[in-house]
A and B are shown apart, each in its own frame.
Chain A
Amino acid sequence: MRDGISIRAENVSKKFCKSFRRGMLHGIADISRNAVGLGSHSYRLRKDEFWAVDDVSFEVKGGETLGIIGFNGSGKSTLLKMINGIFWPDKGKITITGKVGALIEVGAGFHPLLTGMENIYLNAAILGMTRGEVEERFDSIVEFADIGDFIGTPVKNYSSGMFVRLGFSVAVHCNPDILLVDEVLSVGDYAFQRRCLEKIDEIRKRGVAIVLVSHNMQTINKLSDRCLWIHQGKLEGVGDAESLTNRYHVGLFSGRSLAGVGETAGNMKLVNKYFGYGMESIVVESVHLEGNEIGERTVFQAGEDVNLVIRYRLGNSIDKAYLRVAMINENNINCLGDEIRIDCDSGYRFSERGTITVKIPSVRLNSGKYVLSVTMQDDTYNNPFYSGQFGYLTVVNNRSSVNSGFSTPVLWDRFDWKMERD
């Protein structure tokens, strides 16, 4: 490592073919050209080909952890496989200094009929260990895998947890200079995940360069020093993990084009309206959200104050109602909400048209996309006036993890509100 750079990727691109059959023909053409010593002109796109990774450059130093994030199919794994030398770039150049270890899919080289012990030797050989190295580290591998007496049992009889533990254990005992990790940390039970993270931390402290691909922003945030965001094969952003994972969440849940991420605005669309309810004594004409400043927004940081602005029109003359506001997540769980009584006692009276502003003091929600449900009922709860769902509201929460499996706590809060007549 003359300049301390472990991985240097310079304008790296990789193309794939959409059509399988044509891909075969392209493949045979490439192979024949290479075989007779000709270049394959790989920088050109042929029919049905596209760039899966397009002009990506970055460097990783020893001891540094680089996180790679991106939506499904954005080219993260392809990039990782190129660093690993499984795929070769079609354009650009990757320079690797040191021995590469990969946790791309643990236990990929296992044979189900062989025993745990036989598989340790086999997998270690495939992963590039020498015989002496395996013999020296054998006990340590078995200990970390924590499979006890099952070492002599064929791995097809292993539980999936044992299988993964053994695979992970062999892989981390390769003592690489560069470690590539692709979403393997999400397997196994919680205790094992923690041990994996500890192990990776330990490896990092030894000065190993780590490249980490994950959909779990918590993991990325916790482990990486820097972060790459790959979108549709292109580099969407480079920077510190926190700000990038923030933007990633916004993009993920708002589903908007990434160019506009950050300044999403506009009315919330009515996504569901419950008919059959109703008298339509009151109709919600539009709903939008604001932060503390004036201006419509749909993306909020967890903990921010949100103002919900409801424009209504009166059908019949009513003087009291219950307004229910709720934020519903993608699993249809009502996560945050309140019920507000509007009548003369609270000092307000419905006019023909007007605005109700509900102040939600702090959106304490997990990262995610939420539907806003707005319902008006009469005070007997028997006559719904209006019920509609508006979408979408995106919450970004850096302390929460999308994949963690912990559900958002259900919370009924006290919202302040006010009403203005037109």
Chain B
Amino acid sequence: MIGPRGSGKWPEVITYEPDNSIRKGYANLFREIGEDILRNRWLTYQLFKRDLLSIYKQSLIGILWSVIIPLVSVGTFLMLNSAGIFSIGRLHVPYPLYAVLGVVFWQLFATGLVAGSNSLVKAGPMIVKINFSKKSLVIASQGQALIAFSIQFVVLGAMFLYYGIVPNWMILFTPLLVVPVLLFTLGLAFLLSLLNGVFRDIGNIISILVTFLMFLTPVLYAKPETGLLSSMNRYNPLYYLVSVPRDLILAGKTGDPGGFALSILVALIVFLICILFFHLTETRVAERI
């Protein structure tokens, strides 16, 4: 109902013209984006609540599914390892703890990316009928991954207790440690949700890609010292964004502080570029979706 740049002081004058946003200059654009997101935070919350309620209302164990999925993948790897098919690598902590901690961070990316890139398409009928902030849709879609993350962390706490291992005090900084991976995911989600609006192929590609990336990134196994995977992961920001927080929580230190810093920078740049892209083109979504 309120234009993407609507609301606020009354009466406000809104102008719709072709290529409206590109006349404004980049500095103003980022201010606009910030205002837009802030103004619509209640909408974002409502959309988030809708997603959450609708997923778990018609399900028996509801939110517990978010715990089962990572446990199953860890269990599979454990089996493969004990059967000798797959080598996990050398670890200083019990494997389940290592793997679950990794998967928990990984799922932030995987769930967030899939939910985010489908967020606009799923809301298609609404987008062509009501004018509201599309950014809120994408942001709200990340809520699911965040809720799952919190619940998985409770399970993780239980696991620490079970193995009698005390995590490093860095675990208290978890809310900060997730920020880079969240920014990276949200950025990509902005870009991909829009492209998915035009080409539905994107949604399928992402589901495949996320699985593929999970095997490529040392989430469920230790990073090999040598070989193709090792050199590939040197340039994989996801590796740093997932495994450095894990290192910090388990040991309080990491071998790749430089890589982590660089990856945070990459995440930030990806986020800014993608959100700008989204902002410049979101007015074209309705006519293509």
Interface residues of A (CB under 8 A from B): 1, 16, 23-24, 27-28, 30-31, 34-35, 37-40, 42-43, 81-82, 84-102, 104-105, 108-109, 111, 113-114, 118, 121-122, 125-128, 130-131, 154, 174, 176-177
Contacts and interface: CB of A to CB of B under 8 A. Distances in A.
A16 B14 CA distance: 24
Contacts of A93: 15-17
Given A27-B198, A101-B1, A114-B53, A95 B14 contact: yes
Contacts of B20: 88
B268 to A, nearest CB: 19
B225 interface: no
Interface string B1-19: 1111011001111111111
Nearest to B56: A113
Contact of B50 (A81, A111, A127, A128): A111
Interface residues of B, number: 51
A24 B288 contact: yes
Contacts of A34: 19, 21-22, 280-281, 284
A376 B44 CA distance: 73
Contacts of A111: 50, 53-54
Contacts of A99: 1-2, 6-7, 10-12
Interface string B38-73: 000011011101100110011000000000000000
A371 to B, nearest CB: 39
Given A31-B198, A108-B125, A122-B49, A39 B14 contact: no
B194 interface: yes
B30 to A, nearest CB: 14
Given A88-B18, A96-B14, A98-B11, A113 B198 contact: no
19 contacts: A24-B288, A31-B194, A34-B284, A39-B19, A42-B18, A85-B16, A86-B286, A88-B16, A88-B284, A99-B2, A100-B131, A104-B129, A108-B130, A109-B130, A114-B50, A118-B53, A122-B47, A126-B43, A128-B6
Closest 3 A-B residue pairs measured CB to CB?
A128-B2, A128-B1, A125-B46
Most buried by B among A28, A85, A94, A177: A85
Contacts of A113: 53-54, 57-58
A182 to B, nearest CB: 9
A121 B45 CA distance: 11
Nearest to A121: B46
B128 interface: yes
B281 A31 contact: yes
Nearest to A6: B11
A27 B284 contact: yes
Interface hub of B2, B21, B58, B194 (most chain A Cβ within 10 A): B2
B132 A127 contact: yes
Contacts of B280: 34-35, 37
B22 A37 contact: yes
Nearest to B8: A99
B4, B126, B130, B286 pick with most chain A CB within 10 angstroms: B130
Nearest to B128: A86
B199 interface: yes
A94 B11 contact: no
B132 to A, nearest CB: 5
A1 to B, nearest CB: 6
B277 interface: yes
Contacts of B233: none
Contacts of A95: 13-16
Contact of B132 (A35, A114, A126, A130): A126
Contacts of A108: 125-126, 129-130
A16 B128 CA distance: 14
Contacts of A24: 198-199, 288
A331 to B, nearest CB: 32
A114 B21 CA distance: 36
A100 B3 contact: yes
Contacts of B281: 30-31, 34-35
